[in-house]
């Protein structure tokens, strides 16, 4: 018998799902808020959780990672009345089993429920030991990172091409190296090619090699990096920078495992596994005619999405302490303590450059405090401290919410306080920020025609953050 939890603010939906679950011989509980649902999920081991997207105190997509804790984690079936394709994408990437649109019917619920129950049964029957993953320097244990590592472990069992997608600085090469070290090719070479740093005129010969005299300056033959990766892994970083003509040749190599070096007449064979990485939207590049659709299909059979640092802030203590220890060894000085508030200050920033930016900032702070026993906020680079401070000020209204009366717009067009509502400057400022932010998000969604992906591109926010802001300001689309 499986145990299930329904988290939905609609009592009728909860009652209907609980009754359906009990009718087919399983047990079920329900919660009407996200906070109660999280508390119950932490106290009880559930097999399946039905989770509504719109909750009175949060967005279901925000708490989804927290609910999928445990070994094995519960399977989560999202429920929504919005039918948002981008929300569905975000849910699946965060580990949801399915994404069902309301209104619900027994038929609509039973099929995915039967499938997930069968899957849970197969997990219990599986006696194979879990894969002991070599992290190859990947640091952290946040839910977002653990999900990425789960996908990496699954990909390591196979031998097909893998596409790693993530923002700049998220550690794509580190994940590619970990994938290689956990694969059956770990004793073979791991060859890295940065497609963005090699001139297009040299990229073909760099990959496929050339015979002597193939072009001006080719005074000796070269095997090329594809052959160098034989029996190992070829990592193509920033594959979105690969010219179209070279994409065509790479596709043939992936299909045939044979190719001709530049200027050569004899085909060469190479048995390699391709791992590619990009921070670009390859699907959009396909639509724009800048990337081959057939190559994307070849690459995207297995895709690893790496979380940005702002989505794995639970990893800050471990990451920063590891960086400080490494720098102490590098410079031959005693390890430094972290002053009170140092980590909290770092966590308050979104880190657009991700782990790479954090590492550079910590090294700058470390050298600035070279002879001191601890790192203080004051040791951080001035530009970073300013950005963190501005970011904190911008969020201040969001954290406190529009508790006091909203400011009004005077006849002159200036913001002023509502009559008889003049209070402290801090309260006034929070009110102004709340009004301005609500207006911004209202205009953002109108401009983007409620296209979440487009709104994220315009605002620079992640999807979970955008959903949270829309929820906060009551701007969710009916």
Note the pLDDT of residue 430: 65
* Rounded Cα distance, 358 and 349, in Å: 10
Q: What is the pLDDT of residue 443?
A: 80
> Rounded to a whole number, what is the distance in angstroms from the first to the last CA of the chain?
37
Q: Residue 419: its pLDDT value, please?
A: 46
Does the domain formed by 3-125 have CATH 3.40.50.2300?
yes
At residue 414, the pLDDT reads 46
User: Residue 114 is encoded by which pair of tokens?
Assistant: 């039967």
What pLDDT is stored for residue 428 in this prediction? 62
CATH ID of 143-307, from 3.40.50.80, 3.40.50.300, 1.10.1040.10, 3.40.190.10: 3.40.50.300
Q: What is the CATH number of domain 401-472?
A: 1.10.10
Any idea where the domains of the chain sit in the sequence? 3-125, 143-307, 310-390, 401-472
Q: DSSP assignment, residue 57?
A: S
Fold of 310-390: Helicase, Ruva Protein; domain 3 (1.10.8)
Radius of gyration of the chain (CA): 26
- Cβ-Cβ contacts under 8 Å for 451 (sequence gap 6 or more): 86
Residue ranges, the chain, pLDDT below 70:
83-84, 126-132, 391-392, 394-432, 477-478
Say how far apart CA 208 and CA 254 lie, in whole Å.
13
Domains 3-125 and 143-307 share a fold: yes
DSSP state of 389: H
pLDDT in tens, 284-340: 999 999 999 999 999 877 899 999 998 898 999 999 999 999 999 999 999 999 998
pLDDT score of 234 = 97
Residue 420 confidence (pLDDT): 47
Phi, psi of 238 (to 5 degrees): 55, 55
236's tokens: 């193509």
Per-residue tokens: 418: 């509502």
Secondary structure class of 28 (helix, strand, coil):
strand
pLDDT at site 396: 59
């Amino acid at each position: 018998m499986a145990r299930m939890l329904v988290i939905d603010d609609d009592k009728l939906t909860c009652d209907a799902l609980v009754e359906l679950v009990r009718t087919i011989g399983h047990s079920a509980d329900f919660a009407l808020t996200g906070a109660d649902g999280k508390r119950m999920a932490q106290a009880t081991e559930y097999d399946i959780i039905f989770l509504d997207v719109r909750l009175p105190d949060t967005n279901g997509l925000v708490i989804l990672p927290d609910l999928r804790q445990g070994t094995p984690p519960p399977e989560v079936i999202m429920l929504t009345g919005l039918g948002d394709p981008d929300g569905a994408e975000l849910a699946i990437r965060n580990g949801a089993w399915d994404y069902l649109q309301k209104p619900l019917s027994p038929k609509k619920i039973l099929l995915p429920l039967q499938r997930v129950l069968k899957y849970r049964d197969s997990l219990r029957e599986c006696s194979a030991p879990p894969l002991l993953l070599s992290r190859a320097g990947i640091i952290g244990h946040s839910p977002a990172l653990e999900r990425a590592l789960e996908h990496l472990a699954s990909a390591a069992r196979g031998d097909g091409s893998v596409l790693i997608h993530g923002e700049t600085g998220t550690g794509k090469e580190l994940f590619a190296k970990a994938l290689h070290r956990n694969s059956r090719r770990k004793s073979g070479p791991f060859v890295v090619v940065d497609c963005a740093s090699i001139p297009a005129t040299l990229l073909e010969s760099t990959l496929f090699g050339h015979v002597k005299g193939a072009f001006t300056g080719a005074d000796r033959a070269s095997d090329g990096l594809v052959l160098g990766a034989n029996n190992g892994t070829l990592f193509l970083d920033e594959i979105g920078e690969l010219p179209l003509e070279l994409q065509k040749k790479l596709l043939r190599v992936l299909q045939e495992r044979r190719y001709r070096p530049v200027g050569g007449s004899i085909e060469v064979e190479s048995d390699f596994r391709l791992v590619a990485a990009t921070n670009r939207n390859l699907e959009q590049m396909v639509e724009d005619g800048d990337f081959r659709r057939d190559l994307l299909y070849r690459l995207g059979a297995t895709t690893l999405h790496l979380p940005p640092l702002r989505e794995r802030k639970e990893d800050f203590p471990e990451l920063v302490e590891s960086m400080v220890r490494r720098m102490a060894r590098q410079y031959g000085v005693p390890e430094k303590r972290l002053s009170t508030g140092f980590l909290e200050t770092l966590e308050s920033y979104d880190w657009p450059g991700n782990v790479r930016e954090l590492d550079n900032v910590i090294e700058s702070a470390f050298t600035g405090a070279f002879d001191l026993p601890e790192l203080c906020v004051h040791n951080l680079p001035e530009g970073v401290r300013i950005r963190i401070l501005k970011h904190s000020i911008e969020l201040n209204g969001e954290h406190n919410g529009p508790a006091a009366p909203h400011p009004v717009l005077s006849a002159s067009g200036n913001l002023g306080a509502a009559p008889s509502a003049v209070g402290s400057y801090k309260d006034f400022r929070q009110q102004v920020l709340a009004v301005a932010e609500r207006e911004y998000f209202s205009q953002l969604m109108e401009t983007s025609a409620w296209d979440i992906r487009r709104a994220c591109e315009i605002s620079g926010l992640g999807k979970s953050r955008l959903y949270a802001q829309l929820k906060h300001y009551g701007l969710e689309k009916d």
